[in-house]
């Protein structure tokens, strides 16, 4: 008890109890006068006002030392360079670009290609169509909940976004395969997805209400549950045909997963080649080697939650009844070690991060020391990684590919080479440099083949014990 009293006393002594200028909580001119009196005698504040009132604070406060230190130099890189640098344009398909950028390494090696892209639009089409079905299935499943319920409200928010997760793209490839981009090229609305998304969301919300009303009518008529479900799904299929028609009109009719196509190409030596088969066959023969995507899994670093545990997010997915989104939570050092191992093994790394924090897309730098905000404004940015997740300051919003790492003499990472999907004008010819400190603070996920992962983490992934996070948890954010 004595120890507890001492700790309580010490805690109370650290509390600062002060009297506010406004007892009502309103801001008054007395506040402004007090602040201005302080600012008038602060030369740093006066200089900041002189410069920053007509300057972009990012360019004005960019750290010179960070620009000098963060060189695009790496002593361990993938031995084969792919091309061209991809560009997702005005869409949120980074996860599909990151995936296809990883898969094309071995395809380009196999066929000795100078440039090659897999069709991101092909996966985009099937993902969008399946997300529509997933949403409407959830609306059927929870038709008994009030429409203003938090779950219904959340699910009906960004219900058909462009984003996704690793397990979701595995679902797509296992069901639909992959095709070269020449077989299903970009359309205006795959590169500019906003107008299409807005139309689809409007229709799907309308569909949801139709299904909810039908469910209510069937239950009032005392129809058996099995019959209700069958009736609702038949109606859903009728409604979702509208989604399919909109998508094929705006994106084009995609190749059938089991129907053969002919792909003709020119290799790096100028020789013509030809391959014939289905999208599924193309994936099985060339997209699953040396490591099958289905044998890869996500490591995350989420300091809010216990490490060495398997996590999933409730109601998160794209293919109904498909592979769930699963994460093995682990220490950041384990993720670094995995990346070094994969790069040395010649394998590019899919990873998820918050690219909008302390990054300069033009210079291609990601570094927490990039902008001198604290010095200029005399503030402290003190949130931890866990606190950023808790308060909604940061989450896993973008996926890219690590293709190189620079190690110090002790073998520890200093910086990482990152292949983005924002075109050649971004960074250094499409590549960015990510510092190790930025990695610690803003990288949340890396995807690793089981064969290259620590055995104890593979065991966690293969276990049946899962911690289920709520649908609105930050780990449910789609890259």
Residues identified as active-site: 94, 398, 420
At residue 201, the 3 state secondary structure works out as helix
Spacing of C-alpha 157 from chain mean position: 17
CA torsion 168-252-242-144 (nearest 10°) is 10
Report whether 344 contacts 331 (CB < 8 A): no
Whole-angstrom Cα distance, residue 274 to residue 180? 12
Pairing relationship of beta strands 296-300 and 443-449 according to DSSP bridges:
antiparallel
* 162 token code pair: 């462009």
Task: Sort 89 into a burial class: Cβ within 10 Å, 0-12 / 13-18 / 19+.
Answer: middle
Adjacent-strand bridge partners of 428: 431
Whole-angstrom Cα distance, residue 101 to residue 181? 12
How many residues does this entry show for the chain? Answer: 479
Whole-angstrom Cα distance, residue 298 to residue 304? 17
At residue 400, the 3 state secondary structure works out as strand
Whole-angstrom Cα distance, residue 281 to residue 276? 9
Residue 380 CB partners (closer than 8 Å, separation 6+): 374
At residue 351, the 3 state secondary structure works out as strand
Omega into 173 within 30° of 0, i.e. cis?
no
Angle at which helix 225-251 crosses helix 120-141, to 10 degrees, equals: 150
DSSP string, 88-138: --BS--HHHHHHHHHHHHHHHHHHT-SS--B-HHHHHHHHHHHHHHHHHHH
First to last CA, the chain: 50
Whole-angstrom Cα distance, residue 104 to residue 84? 11
């Amino acid at each position: 008890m004595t120890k507890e009293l001492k700790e309580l006393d010490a805690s109370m002594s650290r509390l600062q109890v002060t009297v506010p200028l406004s007892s009502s909580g309103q801001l008054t001119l007395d506040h402004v006068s007090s602040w201005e009196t302080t600012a008038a005698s602060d030369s740093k504040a006066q200089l900041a006002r002189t410069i920053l009132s007509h300057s972009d604070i990012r360019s004005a406060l960019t750290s010179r030392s960070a620009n000098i230190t963060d060189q695009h130099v790496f002593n361990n890189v993938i031995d084969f360079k792919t091309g061209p640098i991809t560009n997702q344009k005005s869409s949120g398909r980074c996860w599909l670009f990151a995936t296809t950028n990883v898969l094309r390494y071995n395809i380009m090696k196999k066929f000795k290609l100078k440039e090659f892209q897999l069709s991101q639009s092909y996966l985009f089409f099937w993902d969008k169509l399946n997300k529509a079905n997933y949403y409407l299935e959830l609306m059927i499943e929870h038709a008994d909940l009030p429409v203003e319920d938090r779950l219904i409200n959340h699910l009906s928010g960004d219900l058909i976004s462009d984003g996704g997760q690793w397990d979701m793209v595995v679902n797509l490839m296992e069901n639909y395969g992959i095709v070269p981009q020449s077989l299903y090229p970009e359309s205006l609305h795959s590169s500019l997805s906003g107008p299409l998304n807005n139309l689809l969301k409007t229709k799907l919300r309308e569909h949801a209400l139709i299904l909810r009303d039908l469910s209510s009518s069937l239950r009032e008529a005392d129809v058996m549950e099995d019959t209700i479900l069958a009736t609702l799904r038949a109606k859903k299929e009728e409604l979702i045909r509208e989604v399919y028609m909109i998508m094929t009109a705006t994106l084009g009719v995609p190749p059938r997963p089991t129907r053969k196509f002919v792909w003709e190409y020119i290799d790096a030596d100028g020789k013509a080649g030809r391959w014939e088969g289905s999208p599924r066959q193309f994936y099985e023969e060339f997209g699953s080697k040396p490591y099958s995507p289905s044998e890869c899994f996500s490591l995350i670093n989420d300091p809010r939650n216990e490490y060495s545990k398997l996590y999933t997010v409730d109601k998160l997915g794209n293919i109904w009844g498909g592979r769930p989104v699963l994460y093995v939570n682990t220490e950041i050092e384990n993720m670094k070690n995995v990346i070094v191992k994969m790069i040395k093994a010649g394998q590019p790394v899919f990873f998820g991060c918050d690219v909008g924090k302390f990054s300069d897309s033009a210079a291609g730098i990601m570094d927490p020391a990039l902008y001198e905000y604290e010095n200029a404004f005399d503030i402290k940015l003190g949130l931890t990684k866990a606190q950023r997740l808790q308060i909604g300051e940061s989450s896993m919003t973008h996926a890219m590919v690590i293709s190189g790492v620079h190690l110090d003499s002790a073998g520890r990472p200093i910086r990482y080479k990152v292949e983005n999907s924002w075109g050649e004008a971004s960074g250094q010819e499409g590549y960015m440099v990510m510092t190790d400190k930025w990695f610690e603070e803003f990288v949340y996920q890396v995807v690793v083949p089981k064969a290259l992962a620590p055995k104890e983490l593979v065991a966690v992934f293969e276990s049946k014990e899962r911690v289920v996070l709520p649908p609105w948890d930050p780990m449910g954010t789609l890259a």
